[in-house]
Amino acid sequence: MPLPQSDFTASSITFRGFGQAIAQQNLPAFGQTMQEVFAATENDSLSGQQIAEIILRDPALTSSLLRVANSAGMGYAGQNKVLTVSRAVVVMGHNAIRSLCISALAVESMPENGPFRARLLAALGTALHAAVQAKDLGLRKGLRRDEAERLFLEALMGRIGELAFWCYGGEFAERVDEMLKSGVSPELAEQSILGMSLRQFSHDLLRAWDLDAVIRDSAEVAVAVQLGRAAQLGWANPEARQAVLHVAALFRQSEAQTLKRLQSNAEQASQLAVVLGAGAATRWIPATPASTDEESAAQPTEPLEMRPAEPTADMALQLRMLTEMNAVAVSRKELPMLFEACLEGLHRAVGLDRCVLCLMTPTRDRLLARLGTGSGVADLRARLQLPWSATLETQLQAGSVRRFSAEQPPPDFLLQATAVHDCLMATLTVDQKIIGLFYADQQTTQRPLTAEIFDGFRRFVTQTELIVRGLPR
């Protein structure tokens, strides 16, 4: 967006106004998704299925999360590969999911090119390093894992203003960059040009997104941030050694023991950056002595796996996801997670554009779209609010799985709700009763519904019913 045509000499008000524009115009989706992720993971009444649904709306976020979950160095999935977001939520827990989602969103929001790419990568690298170190400091102090994850978030989000600034700062960024190149300290350059620090700008951004409670000025985060900055030039420089000695004194450990643990944390931060697709940021995360420049240079700087622009049928992935569905739910209380895993499989492995599950209300008077996955699914869910009637009941048969087309159109109730002829429909039947309705189509991409896709649809619906029947109440 164009910068305001005013004198921005040292006016914090001028930059604050520009900062509000960054939050509202440059990063609205980032802020909205962060709000939803925080709301879902903070609210105990919300289920893992609802968290998974938020993540699945963003294909890039889905791909990043699954890469991290399956990265050997991150230690989340163990020996078993996680194939669905639903399973990742179960395996990793809400707080770890939140930390990784925010990390992935931060990387995803960064432009691939820009005049301040190096400063942006430096900020990201030191932020990820500080976040991992802060989390470990919390664990070593005896904090619960969820509290330690909060420290990770605080350290990362404390740099969100710096990341946004070097992405979208325009002339403000140019002027700060010039002062930094002339040898002025970051603190003085920021105050002179912006009238505030970039840390304060982080607070402003988080406040604009109603997330300012994330920043708690925790002692562990302060130590981790100082450590991350000091160690940018390597563990051997005097500032880094002083930071290591400070941590050693906190835990009454030797310098050698402390350094070994801090180096291990730095390696984990580097692995996280690489898996998230920001391998270039590892330049600002200190390597262990065993790491060579050649090894660092060999690290990929692009995502390890790019999602296709549209979902495609993948038989191997279907079989793996069908198997994983067995581990998603252990009782009928966890059915929403199972249903979400089924929809995820229909979308990502079968290759369907839009997938929705309608469920019967407790009074059995309406079929309401409760879950959905795919592009444009929100509008579809709003349309699929069906009153249950004797007529509708006669049009649905328990255990039926059907494919419709212009030549063989869907029942009137479905056609009126969706205005789509080419679609798939299946009843969800448990204990001889219809409790729901699966619906899927290719309306977004207008691709044909092939026999292969129909077979995949049938597999996932059938597997879901089999699992439900075998679950204890």
pLDDT at position 399 over 80: yes
pLDDT value, residue 50: 77
Which three-class secondary structure string do you get for 76-93? CCCCCCCCCHHHHHHHHC
* Average pLDDT of every residue of the chain: 85
pLDDT value, residue 293: 43
Return the ∠ at Cα 46 (arms to 44 and 51), rounded to 5°: 115
The one-character DSSP state at 281 is: G
pLDDT value, residue 124: 95
* Nearest residue to 398 via CA among 357, 433, 363, 356: 433
Give the amino acid at 453. Answer: I
Burial tier of 154 (Cβ tally within 10 Å: 0-12, 13-18, 19+): buried
Q: Which residues does residue 373 pair with via DSSP β-bridges, in sequence order?
A: 355
pLDDT value, residue 269: 94
Structure confidence at residue 11 as a pLDDT band (50, 70, 90): very low
- DSSP H or E stretch at residue 428: strand 423-430
Structure confidence at residue 17 as a pLDDT band (50, 70, 90): confident
Q: Which residue has the higher pLDDT, 31 or 223?
A: 223
372 and 358 Cβ atoms separated by less than 8 Å? no
Give the amino acid at 324. Answer: E
Structure confidence by residue, pLDDT tens digits, 318-340:
999 999 898 888 888 788 889 99
pLDDT value, residue 97: 87
Average pLDDT over residues 148-157: 93
- How far apart are alpha carbons 246 and 240 in whole angstroms? 10
180 and 193 Cβ atoms separated by less than 8 Å? no
Give the amino acid at 100. Answer: L
- How far apart are alpha carbons 422 and 408 in whole angstroms? 9
* Nearest residue to 69 via CA among 45, 52, 47, 57: 52
Task: For 3-47, give the DSSP string.
Answer: PPSS--SS-HHHHHHHHHHIIIIISHHHHHHHHHHHHHHH-TTS-
Topology (CATH) of 315-470? Beta-Lactamase (3.30.450)
* Nearest residue to 364 via CA among 392, 401, 399, 333: 392
Which three-class secondary structure string do you get for 349-390? HHCCCEEEEEEECCCCCEEEEEEEEECCHHHHHHHCEEECCH
Average pLDDT over residues 361-381: 88
Sheet containing strand 423-430, strands side by side: 385-387, 366-374, 354-360, 433-441, 423-430, 401-404
333 and 295 Cβ atoms separated by less than 8 Å? no
Q: Tokens for 171? A: 């002339």
Task: For 57-68, give the DSSP string.
Answer: T-HHHHHHHHHH
Tell me if residue 438 falls in helix, strand or coil. strand
Please state which of the ranges 230-239, 282-291, 358-367, 428-437 shows the lowest mean pLDDT. 282-291
Average pLDDT over residues 10-24: 70
Structure confidence at residue 33 as a pLDDT band (50, 70, 90): confident
Q: Which residue has the higher pLDDT, 422 or 18?
A: 422
Q: How far is CA 174 from CA 39, 83, 178, 185, 189, in A?
A: 36, 43, 6, 15, 11
CATH of domain 12-298: 1.10.3210.10
pLDDT value, residue 332: 81
Rg for the chain, CA atoms, rounded = 25
In this structure, how many other beta carbons lie within 10 angstroms of the beta carbon of residue 450? 13
- How far apart are alpha carbons 34 and 156 in whole angstroms? 13
Tell me the angle at which helices 238-251 and 117-140 cross, rounded to the nearest 10 degrees: 20
Q: Which residues does residue 355 pair with via DSSP β-bridges, in sequence order?
A: 373, 440
pLDDT at position 298 over 60: no
pLDDT value, residue 334: 80
pLDDT at position 295 over 70: no
Please state which of the ranges 92-96, 139-143, 288-292, 436-440 shows the lowest mean pLDDT. 288-292
Structure confidence by residue, pLDDT tens digits, 157-193:
999 999 999 998 889 999 999 999 999 999 999 999 9
pLDDT value, residue 431: 79
pLDDT at position 105 over 80: yes
Q: Which residue has the higher pLDDT, 457 or 70?
A: 457
- How far apart are alpha carbons 167 and 109 in whole angstroms? 9
pLDDT at position 313 over 70: yes
Give the contacts of 167 (CB within 8 A, at least 6 positions apart).
26, 109, 110, 111, 114, 116, 120
Please state which of the ranges 28-32, 46-50, 105-109, 290-294 shows the lowest mean pLDDT. 290-294
What residues does each domain of the chain span? Answer: 12-298, 315-470
pLDDT value, residue 310: 67
In this structure, how many other beta carbons lie within 10 angstroms of the beta carbon of residue 32? 11
Average pLDDT over residues 11-29: 73
pLDDT value, residue 9: 41
pLDDT value, residue 94: 83
389 and 404 Cβ atoms separated by less than 8 Å? no
* Chain centre to alpha carbon of residue 453: 28
pLDDT value, residue 226: 95
Average pLDDT over residues 414-434: 92
pLDDT value, residue 42: 75
110 and 278 Cβ atoms separated by less than 8 Å? yes
194 and 175 Cβ atoms separated by less than 8 Å? no
Percentage of the chain lying above the pLDDT 90 cut? 50
Tell me the angle at which helices 85-92 and 48-56 cross, rounded to the nearest 10 degrees: 130
Scan for tokens 């009126």, then name that residue: 416
Structure confidence at residue 63 as a pLDDT band (50, 70, 90): confident
